[in-house]
Structure 1
Amino acid sequence: MKTTKRLWRKCLLTLGVTGLLIAAAVNSETTVTQAQASSAQGAFAMSYLYFGNSSSYTSQVDKSGQALDEVSPSYFHINADGSLQIDDSFQASFVKDMHQRGKKVVPFLSNDFDQALGEKAIDNRENLANQIVQAIQKNQLDGINLDIENVGADYRDKYTDFVKLLRDKLPSTMEVSVAVAANPTGATTSWIALYDYKALAAVSDYLMVMAYDESYPGDPTPGPVASLPFVEKSIQYALQQAPANKIVLGLPFYGRYWNQDPAADGAGLSAQTITKLVNAYQGMVRYDTASQSPVATFSIGPTDPAYSINGKNLDIGDYTVWFENEQSLKAKLKLVSKYQLKGTGSWSLNQETSDTWDYYSLWANGFYFTDMQKHWAQADVLAAANRGWMLGTAADRFAPDAALTRAEAATIIVRVLGLTGEVGSGSASFSDVPAAHWARQSIQLAKQSGLIQGISDDRFAPDQIMTREQMSVLLSRALHLTSQSGGGAAAKVFSDVPAGSWSAEAIAAMSSYGLVDGYAGGTFRPSASLTRAEMAALLSRAQPLLTK
């Protein structure tokens, strides 16, 4: 497979720009789908780096924002004698750049689909493993991803032994992962059977299931690179052999084209290039519902301008291109949550269209908020959602710019602090929070814990907006912050927060911990409202204190 290869922006805006921040629950929790993420980090995401100049690798990764936890560059290859070849593309500066961004660098070892090289590497596995370990340690890399392909099933046990050698020789803190061919039919012959999923999973951190190349170079019949049924069956087979938390779903950022030249059947094109071709030649795109894949058609006429790919002009004629777009990738990303997989991998970075990262992390984590695509607070909303601190207002909406209500604020704080249990019999009830109110339990728990009060003895005003000063008081109580305890910085003085006001102490405490800021001109605007997106960003700031 992959036969064409040699192979929180947390946007912590100051209150002076957007105001204090908070995300919240919905008005009816029973109508909303919530993903069952296991941690704030959510689904794991990695991508291979192969195409493009190695000097542009950092900029390629930066285009993905915070979506990727790990990148796997094409640094390791195999010499004719089965020894390790370190590619000229290796740059220590790139490794440093990624580590500064909090991303791991795990190069992949490729035999470039060369059967003889793959066999030689496996036969030479003891020496090769030692060389790989030495190269990883010398170059401050974070592990190894093995991508040996097109080697027969008779090498199955030897290949597993190779992976086990690496796992034994490397510290547990360093990754050992394996790219495995998709096997939707459970094939036991051909090179696809090289991979003993069960045994490999036992000696590696994860299996990157290459759920693509359903159609391949040389395939005479146009068809999808990764139809949804093909991908889902590949996952189901993997789960019969290995636990879900060791399965990474590989996704394609490319397509394949067919024209009148049999030699070009199934040739690969990046998603970026396909978009340009369709636009340049006024092509058409239809969505095939059976495969859940887009299909493009276009024609290049004798008088049309030439289009060059890899130094060769495309021939005149009619073209059919099967590829991936937002709709098809979202359908595949949903499978990560459906099957509770470890996460996703992709082949390969810099082939995707720029809008891919607008939705990728949301869908991979099971949060289908269309109104969070391109939103400045996406990373913060995703982090809070993965922690279970927030829900959407509907399965496909988060309403990031809606004002936060007092009921929502109480619910969020109860979730953040993990407050549970029965409300005490002596706890005061509010006339405007009846027994059927969606937030009654949270409001009662927050009141009982001394975190929030009503606007009077018998009224809570659940639908009233939460102001900046109210949230400062609420969060400072939840975090037990005081201006005397101090957060390492002097509290700012705001002209519109009198020293004797009811919220002055809380605002000073929050300021000293760097959780809030003011507006230009030295004001705080204590009565201004908060948005749900703003709270998500505030929670990102406060998270180190919330989890102490």
Structure 2
Amino acid sequence: MKKINMKQAYRPLWKAILIGAIMLGSVAGNGGGIVHAAGNQSDFQDTRTSYAREAIDRLVNQGIVAGTTEHSFEPKKAVTRAEFASFAVRLLALKPVKNSMNPYADVSAKAWYYGNVATMTNLSILEGKGQRLFQPNASITREEAAALLVRMLKQRPVEMNNLADTYSDAAEISTWARPYVQTVYRLGLMRGSDGLFRPGEQVTREEAAVMLDAILQNQTWAAQLKRKDQHGIQLGWQYNSSTAEFIKQVQQSPVNTLVPRWFFLNGDMSVSNHVDSTLISWASSTDRKLWPLLGNRSNKELTHQMLSSSANREAVVKQVTSFVRTYKLGGINVDFENVDPSDREGFTAFVTSLTNALHKLGAVVSVDVSPDLGTDWTAAFDYVKLGELSDYMVLMSYEEHWSGDPKPGSVASLPWVERALVTMLNEVANGKTILALPLYTRDWSMTSPETASWDITLGEQGTRAAATGSRTQWDTSLSQYRINYTAAHAAREIWAEESRSLSAKVLMSSEQNIAGLAYWYMGGETADVWNAITNAMRFESYTF
């Protein structure tokens, strides 16, 4: 859940994008092209004498490539960046993502290839050529294709200083491209001919087909691409939405673990019960887990009253255990915030007792914590002990800059989130760690950030970005867009959260083999976010 007021706390970006490297795209040229259904044999009249005919047929059968018309493939035509990007998305079994914030000024959101270009950009497999320019209709060179293939297969490019022994035109290969060329040669994906690599020549559509087909002919790689998605825990908090709205939000997402805000601590040590039987029935019928939230409403005094008394702790544990037993719940999500540092031992004792009680019922306990930055806000949490006791620790990796912060900035920049996660993993096992990501951001006043800034949804953020006079620029160091605009003659700025920034965080977290992800809050997102997140999880799961 979102934290109320925490003090702030880099990650060397895991993506090593070399200057000048370019990427590629997919289905057909003219207006989107003709996509042959998987299983249909192509009947292109112009591929009958092509050396790539078999490769083209196999790719058409799998729905990876398409012709420029129903009966033409144009094998000798140069492949465009938009086409190759689309081929790559399909081959990698990813989904097109129509980012709510367009990465490029020269790519229309209505273009047939927009979702594919955005997908490749979100995953840092391909990027543009200059600030906000993609040049979708430009052709790609052989050395650029080498770079894309290496990134698609998540290989580490290595230069062995013997290119001249392989190619007589090695001196013509760009410095940035040399490791990629050597890597695709080693992988058997591109070999050149007559001792030449021809780095600056355009890649034709038949050449692209042969390159991509070679990936599918590798049984190990092909097996990876056919794997079913395994997303682990995908936890979504309900907030300011009805049960019907929450169900709809979950249906449109990969969320498999529901956290409705049902149980809260009261002054008389009773626990309020807001259970909704409709959600229980729906979760059961759709095989989703229910871990309702147990919260303290950030009431420090009330929380102290409970945690400082063993009798009060046990009274609360008894009530919660009864709820779990009665409603056959899968677990409880403990969200205590603004806890006094003096209650550190009491909180650990409470989680110990609750976990012991719920384990007897086969239920789990997850505990929400903010990043351990050595402040009073988190001093009540013994991360090591809580990580040992509970089943899961949910790291609320947002509020890097908080509501009321005198300094405006990102709610959750990639370097800050990675630092928070790495710190957590020094104290808590990977398999017990869930990383919570923000589906909100903050609209900052640059003159009065403490009093004239407010939280906004990702949809509201997009509206501001699209307004006349607003300026949007990608900040590579933070892996976020920064939106600047003026309202009432005052400067304002938004550090955006959207498909591209969230993909960067998911990729980073997936490298850590954690238990899963959580989202604060369901309903704050735009529709494109979910495909972006599942793409990032799928791509990171590949072990080529």
TM-score range, shorter chain: 0.5 to 0.7
2:407 equivalent to 1:221: yes
Once residues 356 and 192 of structure 1 are traced to their aligned partners in structure 2, the CA distance between those partners, rounded to angstroms, is: 30
Query: Which residue of 2 is the match for residue 451 of structure 1?
Result: none
Query: Which residue of 2 is the match for residue 320 of structure 1?
Result: 493
Once residues 242 and 270 of structure 1 are traced to their aligned partners in structure 2, the CA distance between those partners, rounded to angstroms, is: 31
Deviation at 1:179, TM superposition (A): 0.4
Task: Provide the secondary structure at the position in 1 that maps to 2:333.
Answer: strand
CA 1:218/1:159 → structure 2, altered by over 3 Å: closer, same or farther? same
Per-residue CA deviation, residues 338-360 of structure 1 (Å, 9 max, x unaligned), is 11111111111110111011121
1:249 pairs, out of 401, 424, 435, with: 435
Deviation at 1:34, TM superposition (A): 6.1
Deviation at 1:70, TM superposition (A): 0.3
Q: Check whether the contact 2:407–2:449 (CA below 8 A) recurs between aligned residues.
A: no
Deviation at 1:262, TM superposition (A): 4.7
Query: Which residue of 1 is the match for residue 70 of structure 2?
Result: none
Task: Provide the secondary structure at the position in 1 that maps to 2:267.
Answer: coil
Query: Which residue of 1 is the match for residue 380 of structure 2?
Result: 194
Q: Check whether the contact 2:243–2:278 (CA below 8 A) recurs between aligned residues.
A: no
2:461 pairs, out of 264, 271, 274, with: 274
Once residues 113 and 167 of structure 1 are traced to their aligned partners in structure 2, the CA distance between those partners, rounded to angstroms, is: 22
Q: Any gaps of 5 or more consecutive residues in structure 2?
A: 6-36, 41-60, 63-92, 94-212
Task: Provide the secondary structure at the position in 1 that maps to 2:249.
Answer: helix
Q: Check whether the contact 1:293–1:324 (CA below 8 A) recurs between aligned residues.
A: yes
2:326 equivalent to 1:158: no
CA 1:2/1:264 → structure 2, altered by over 3 Å: closer, same or farther? farther
- Worse overlay, 244-253 or 103-112: 103-112
CA 1:196/1:162 → structure 2, altered by over 3 Å: closer, same or farther? same
2:305 pairs, out of 103, 113, 120, with: 120
Per-residue CA deviation, residues 121-161 of structure 1 (Å, 9 max, x unaligned), is 32321111111111222223221000101112221121111
CA 1:350/1:114 → structure 2, altered by over 3 Å: closer, same or farther? same
Deviation at 1:364, TM superposition (A): 2.7
2:521 equivalent to 1:363: no
Once residues 217 and 266 of structure 1 are traced to their aligned partners in structure 2, the CA distance between those partners, rounded to angstroms, is: 7
1:350 pairs, out of 516, 523, 532, with: 523
2:214 equivalent to 1:41: no
Task: Provide the secondary structure at the position in 2 that maps to 1:98.
Answer: helix
Query: Which residue of 1 is the match for residue 276 of structure 2?
Result: 91
Once residues 105 and 330 of structure 1 are traced to their aligned partners in structure 2, the CA distance between those partners, rounded to angstroms, is: 26
Q: Check whether the contact 2:440–2:455 (CA below 8 A) recurs between aligned residues.
A: yes
Higher normalized contact order (CA 8 Å, seq sep 6+, divided by chain length) = 1
CA 1:3/1:340 → structure 2, altered by over 3 Å: closer, same or farther? closer
Deviation at 1:253, TM superposition (A): 0.7
Query: Which residue of 2 is the match for residue 285 of structure 1?
Result: 472
Query: Which residue of 2 is the match for residue 440 of structure 1?
Result: none
Once residues 158 and 70 of structure 1 are traced to their aligned partners in structure 2, the CA distance between those partners, rounded to angstroms, is: 28
Task: Provide the secondary structure at the position in 2 that maps to 1:231.
Answer: helix
Deviation at 1:4, TM superposition (A): 6.1
Query: Which residue of 1 is the match for residue 370 of structure 2?
Result: 181
CA 1:265/1:199 → structure 2, altered by over 3 Å: closer, same or farther? farther
1:79 pairs, out of 256, 262, 266, with: 266
Instruction: Please list, as runs of the form range in 1=range in 2, the aligned pairs for 1:353-392 lying within 5 A after superposition.
Output: 353-365=526-538, 367=539
1:237 pairs, out of 420, 423, 432, with: 423
Deviation at 1:69, TM superposition (A): 1.7
Query: Which residue of 1 is the match for residue 509 of structure 2?
Result: 336
CA 1:54/1:31 → structure 2, altered by over 3 Å: closer, same or farther? closer
Deviation at 1:92, TM superposition (A): 0.6
Deviation at 1:207, TM superposition (A): 0.3
Once residues 469 and 245 of structure 2 are traced to their aligned partners in structure 1, the CA distance between those partners, rounded to angstroms, is: 31
Give me the identity figure in percent.
Answer: 28
Query: Which residue of 2 is the match for residue 27 of structure 1?
Result: 217
Q: TM-score, normalised by structure 2?
A: 0.57
Query: Which residue of 1 is the match for residue 12 of structure 2?
Result: none
Once residues 259 and 412 of structure 2 are traced to their aligned partners in structure 1, the CA distance between those partners, rounded to angstroms, is: 21
Once residues 230 and 455 of structure 2 are traced to their aligned partners in structure 1, the CA distance between those partners, rounded to angstroms, is: 33
Query: Which residue of 1 is the match for residue 66 of structure 2?
Result: none
Task: Provide the secondary structure at the position in 1 that maps to 2:325.
Answer: helix
Q: Check whether the contact 1:343–1:364 (CA below 8 A) recurs between aligned residues.
A: no
Query: Which residue of 2 is the match for residue 442 of structure 1?
Result: none
Query: Which residue of 2 is the match for residue 468 of structure 1?
Result: none
Q: Check whether the contact 1:156–1:196 (CA below 8 A) recurs between aligned residues.
A: yes
Once residues 468 and 354 of structure 2 are traced to their aligned partners in structure 1, the CA distance between those partners, rounded to angstroms, is: 50
| CA RMSD, 1 decimal | 3.1
2:319 equivalent to 1:142: no
Deviation at 1:43, TM superposition (A): 2.7
Instruction: Please list, as runs of the form range in 1=range in 2, the aligned pairs for 1:534-545 lying within 5 A after superposition.
Output: none
Q: Check whether the contact 2:332–2:364 (CA below 8 A) recurs between aligned residues.
A: yes
Instruction: Please list, as runs of the form range in 1=range in 2, the aligned pairs for 1:453-464 lying within 5 A after superposition.
Output: none
Query: Which residue of 1 is the match for residue 257 of structure 2?
Result: 70
Q: What one-letter code is carried by the residue in structure 1 that aligns with 2:263?
A: F
CA 1:114/1:346 → structure 2, altered by over 3 Å: closer, same or farther? same
CA 1:265/1:121 → structure 2, altered by over 3 Å: closer, same or farther? farther
Instruction: Please list, as runs of the form range in 1=range in 2, the aligned pairs for 1:9-20 lying within 5 A after superposition.
Output: none
Deviation at 1:52, TM superposition (A): 2.2
Q: Check whether the contact 1:217–1:265 (CA below 8 A) recurs between aligned residues.
A: no
Deviation at 1:214, TM superposition (A): 0.4
- Worse overlay, 124-133 or 259-268: 259-268
Task: Provide the secondary structure at the position in 2 that maps to 1:77.
Answer: strand
Once residues 407 and 287 of structure 2 are traced to their aligned partners in structure 1, the CA distance between those partners, rounded to angstroms, is: 43
Query: Which residue of 1 is the match for residue 285 of structure 2?
Result: 100
Q: Check whether the contact 1:106–1:144 (CA below 8 A) recurs between aligned residues.
A: yes
Deviation at 1:73, TM superposition (A): 1.0
Q: Check whether the contact 1:258–1:264 (CA below 8 A) recurs between aligned residues.
A: no
Q: Check whether the contact 2:3–2:396 (CA below 8 A) recurs between aligned residues.
A: no
Deviation at 1:3, TM superposition (A): 4.4
Once residues 137 and 357 of structure 1 are traced to their aligned partners in structure 2, the CA distance between those partners, rounded to angstroms, is: 33
Q: Any gaps of 5 or more consecutive residues in structure 1?
A: 6-16, 302-315, 369-385, 396-548
Per-residue CA deviation, residues 487-522 of structure 1 (Å, 9 max, x unaligned), is xxxxxxxxxxxxxxxxxxxxxxxxxxxxxxxxxxxx
Task: Provide the secondary structure at the position in 1 that maps to 2:482.
Answer: strand
Once residues 156 and 32 of structure 1 are traced to their aligned partners in structure 2, the CA distance between those partners, rounded to angstroms, is: 51
CA 1:152/1:56 → structure 2, altered by over 3 Å: closer, same or farther? same
Once residues 407 and 356 of structure 2 are traced to their aligned partners in structure 1, the CA distance between those partners, rounded to angstroms, is: 44
Q: What one-letter code is carried by the residue in structure 1 that aligns with 2:234?
A: A
Q: Check whether the contact 1:43–1:364 (CA below 8 A) recurs between aligned residues.
A: no
Once residues 324 and 100 of structure 1 are traced to their aligned partners in structure 2, the CA distance between those partners, rounded to angstroms, is: 33
Task: Provide the secondary structure at the position in 1 that maps to 2:378.
Answer: helix
